[in-house]
Structure 1
Amino acid sequence: MSSNISSNSALSAHFSEQASAHASEQVSNRVLGRSRINSIDMMRGLVMLIMLLDHVRERFFLHMQVSDPMDLSSTSWGLFLSRFAAHFCAPVFVFLTGVSAWLYANRSHGEPRSARAFLIKRGLFLIALEIVVINISWMGNYHTLWLQVIWVIGLSMLTLAALINLPRAWMALLGFAIVFGHNLLTPIGFQPSEWVYSLWTLLHDRGYLVSEGALKIKVSYPALPWMGVILLGYVAGPIFSQKLNSNLLEASQRQQTLLQLGISCWVLFAVLRGFNLYGETLPWQAGAHLGETLMSVFNLTKYPPSLSFLLVTLGGMFFSLVAFERYFASSGKVGGRLARVGHGLSVFGSVPMFFYILHLYVLLLLYRLAKFIFGANHGEYFGVNSMGWIWFITGVLVIALYYPVKWFSEYKKHSTQAWIKYL
């Protein structure tokens, strides 16, 4: 099983949900406040649907599994693009978790408060969820405990909680040092017999913590780079502050800042990756035609995420946040096409944890049902024969899952039960 539940991954956003709610309740300019928060919900909703596509691929196209980075000699354009799109999921959720922690600590009304207790509770909840609920949703049993995206988001929350009282300047320096410097650690490796192996596997090298016995434990998402991403998200929190951005002029300044961040990320990627200078373990090579060359350039390492991987994905997130706020959230006529699309995305983004758990178990049930009816047609797996079918199944599931997700989103808004906020 590939460990890209990244994407998908996602799901520090349940923390972002409550932080966004606190940030939006008392905003003085309610139209702009809702637009800004809705743009974050839309961003989360978009990557949730991309994650759904990737997990449908994992279920019904597993016989054409991809490596990391991908083996371009056996990867079609459709498979490459679908997998590349899924790269955006985990960076978006981890970064926005940091943003949301800052919004929670610096609410729009009242005095600032500490987010430490909130981060600790949510972080421990995510780690427990990964072990108890998420793992079994993939295989239907326990033979390997996969420490994947939910686990690493929880661990990143705990890291942010430990560092929450650092000055923002120090936090920024530490975040940049991790994100930009961790590729220097790639040559370092340890054998399972060495005492530091387990710590290094947790932080930087994907591998097994326990490789023998009834229950194996594998770290699929090394945590160190993601700790840097959540720190940078927290540092970027003031960009979305409703105290600082309460009128059209300041909203425009926020969008300008996000555009500058996006451009900076992509220009730096173009220079570092274009000249194969730094930031990726696998140099790109010219192919027989432009398509092959582009696939090689964007064939990036996710486990752990390379600097190039993070520059591309976070840059795309900054551009998308601007687009959502300008064209989907704060503009357009009621019932307009973009407004309807934006609303649909915000519904999925409003309860991402609920959607995450729901879609995994729906996919488990559908796969077992299909295999029972049709049998294994690709070795030990049941699978479809093209990526077109993967897109079709995803589209059907988006429509089918929208209604229970919308129901739960409305239920959550009106519920006074504390445990509901965790979903």
Structure 2
Amino acid sequence: MGVHRVTLPASTGAPLTSERIGSVDALRGLVMVLMLLDHLRETWFLHVPVADPIDARTALPALYLARLAVSLCAPVFVALTGVAAFLFSTRHTRAATRAYLVKRGLVLMALEILYLSELYWGVASPTLWLQVIWCIGVCMIVLATLIGLPRSALLAIGLLIAYGHNLLDPIQLQPDQPLFPVWAMLHHRDTIALPFGLVAKTTYPVLAWIGVIALGYAIGPWFLPGVEVRTRERRLVGLGCMMLIAFGLLRLANSYGEKPWFVVDGSALRTAMSFFALTKYPPSLLFLLLTLGIGALLLVALERARAAPAVTALAVFGGAPMFFYLLNLTVLRALYHAAHAIWGSTQSLLSGVANYAWVLLWYVGLIVPLYLPTAWFSCFKASRREIAWLKYL
């Protein structure tokens, strides 16, 4: 869903013009480009036994730092999806907004099950991976049911979920209990048995992310054309700083919102790694405070540097994020299977490069080749607004 500036006439409230907000597209593009790094790790480095890429005691520091940077992706993208939904609602009726959110959500869920699971984990796999695209789809559908509430109520719901969901962590349901599938979908990462020998893995439990998309929708008015850029920047800086201060205080207290950090004897680096090792599945309160706080400050930085060529290029990726997501995963799997057919073992498809530096080299080498088709599609999508299905990519 694209984020737009909209101009509303004072008399009717009907839209007159619409143009994309470059800084929002650039931030979305930045997290999509960061996501490519994680996809590369999962393509070319998954054969290396890594129990936890953010384990402060054992993780390779370069891998840890890359994973920490990639942590921005999901929170920022989900929050911006909420912002985009609000701005969409300023140009459409509530019924039309709800219909779009539900249809877009169902499309994303279907893509996750029917294409991405098979693409990434193997054709005819018995496992349905309910990952980030599924999660965003569910969040959009839930948001469609909430948009009739006052903005203050949405803000309260978002804050209650984001700040309070860790209180639910002690609840553990077993597979033979009636509410186990619902709980696995909402808050506990687990495996759900399905008919016909299928299983579903709830990689992204959705409850906390519903809070994030609700908060994004609640701050949507900050992005209306009547709000001066400096006013929006001041609000975002204040929000980002408050979140980072709250993160620091709670993390130092070591009492709520995340597993405790610890001191690694003889290593200041690994002690710092422990401090910033946060839970993503589902996202802890501290994970959300850190990533969304940084995201708010990045948005201001990108707004101020919006004329820079790099920011303009990032906005291209952010103008067609779903296309880029599907494109990079498809290209990576094609490259992987081609490489495996030429050099890989016949015993297993789980192979790859021997050193993480090669992952970074692949990353640099793929940015431009992936940029070109994304730029073409972004222009095509903007010029063909009459093609209804394009708005779902």
Q: Normalized against structure 1, the TM-score is what?
A: 0.86
Do 2:191 and 2:199's aligned partners in 1 also have CA atoms closer than 8 Å? Answer: yes
CA distance in 2: counterparts of 1:134 and 1:94, whole angstroms: 19
Q: Report the counterpart of residue 4 of structure 1 in structure 2.
A: none
2:175 to 177, 192, 205: 192
Q: Report the counterpart of residue 251 of structure 2 in structure 1.
A: 273
Deviation at 1:257, TM superposition (A): 0.5
2:79 to 72, 95, 103: 95
1:150 to 133, 145, 148: 133
Percent identity between the two aligned chains:
45
2:152 to 150, 153, 169: 169
Matches within 5 A, 1:50-69: 50-64=34-48, 66-67=50-51
CA distance in 1: counterparts of 2:173 and 2:94, whole angstroms: 44
1:420 to 387, 390, 393: 390
CA distance in 1: counterparts of 2:311 and 2:327, whole angstroms: 22
Deviation at 1:191, TM superposition (A): 0.7
Deviation at 1:215, TM superposition (A): 2.2
CA distance in 1: counterparts of 2:93 and 2:130, whole angstroms: 37
* 1:286 matches 2:259: no
SS of 2:337's partner is helix
Shift in alpha-carbon separation, 1:409–1:341, aligned structure 2, 3 A: same
SS of 1:62's partner is coil
Deviation at 1:136, TM superposition (A): 1.4
CA distance in 2: counterparts of 1:168 and 1:77, whole angstroms: 42
Shift in alpha-carbon separation, 1:398–1:69, aligned structure 2, 3 A: closer
CA distance in 2: counterparts of 1:145 and 1:198, whole angstroms: 14
Q: Deviations over 1:72-98 (max 9, x none)?
A: 332111000111111111101110111
Greater Cα offset, 138-147 or 193-202: 138-147
SS of 2:128's partner is strand
* 1:121 matches 2:98: no
Deviation at 1:422, TM superposition (A): 1.2
* 1:229 matches 2:206: no
CA distance in 1: counterparts of 2:194 and 2:110, whole angstroms: 21
SS of 1:115's partner is helix
CA distance in 2: counterparts of 1:26 and 1:238, whole angstroms: 13
CA distance in 2: counterparts of 1:194 and 1:69, whole angstroms: 32
Greater Cα offset, 285-294 or 143-152: 285-294
Greater Cα offset, 232-241 or 372-381: 372-381
* 1:315 matches 2:293: yes
Shift in alpha-carbon separation, 1:119–1:299, aligned structure 2, 3 A: same
Cα RMSD, aligned residues only: 2.2
Matches within 5 A, 1:208-227: 208-210=191-193, 214-227=197-210
Q: Deviations over 1:277-322 (max 9, x none)?
A: 2110x21001222211110011100110000100010001100000
Q: Report the counterpart of residue 336 of structure 2 in structure 1.
A: 367
Letter in 1 for 2:248: A
* 1:201 matches 2:184: yes
Letter in 2 for 1:284: W
Q: Deviations over 1:225-274 (max 9, x none)?
A: 000001000001011111x22xxxx2111101000011011000000011
Shift in alpha-carbon separation, 1:304–1:112, aligned structure 2, 3 A: closer
Gaps of 5+ in 2: 11-17
Matches within 5 A, 1:252-267: 252-267=230-245
Q: Normalized against structure 2, the TM-score is what?
A: 0.92
CA distance in 1: counterparts of 2:49 and 2:158, whole angstroms: 33
Do 2:53 and 2:60's aligned partners in 1 also have CA atoms closer than 8 Å? Answer: no
Deviation at 1:210, TM superposition (A): 1.1
Deviation at 1:27, TM superposition (A): 10
CA distance in 2: counterparts of 1:105 and 1:420, whole angstroms: 19
Q: Report the counterpart of residue 402 of structure 1 in structure 2.
A: 371
Matches within 5 A, 1:325-340: 325-327=303-305, 329=306, 332=307, 339-340=308-309
Letter in 2 for 1:138: Y
Deviation at 1:58, TM superposition (A): 0.3
Letter in 1 for 2:372: Y
CA distance in 2: counterparts of 1:289 and 1:305, whole angstroms: 27
* 1:347 matches 2:316: yes
Do 1:69 and 1:300's aligned partners in 2 also have CA atoms closer than 8 Å? Answer: no
2:60 to 59, 76, 82: 76
Q: Deviations over 1:379-421 (max 9, x none)?
A: 7621112221111101111111111111111111111211112
Do 1:102 and 1:238's aligned partners in 2 also have CA atoms closer than 8 Å? Answer: yes
2:28 to 31, 34, 44: 44
CA distance in 2: counterparts of 1:399 and 1:58, whole angstroms: 20
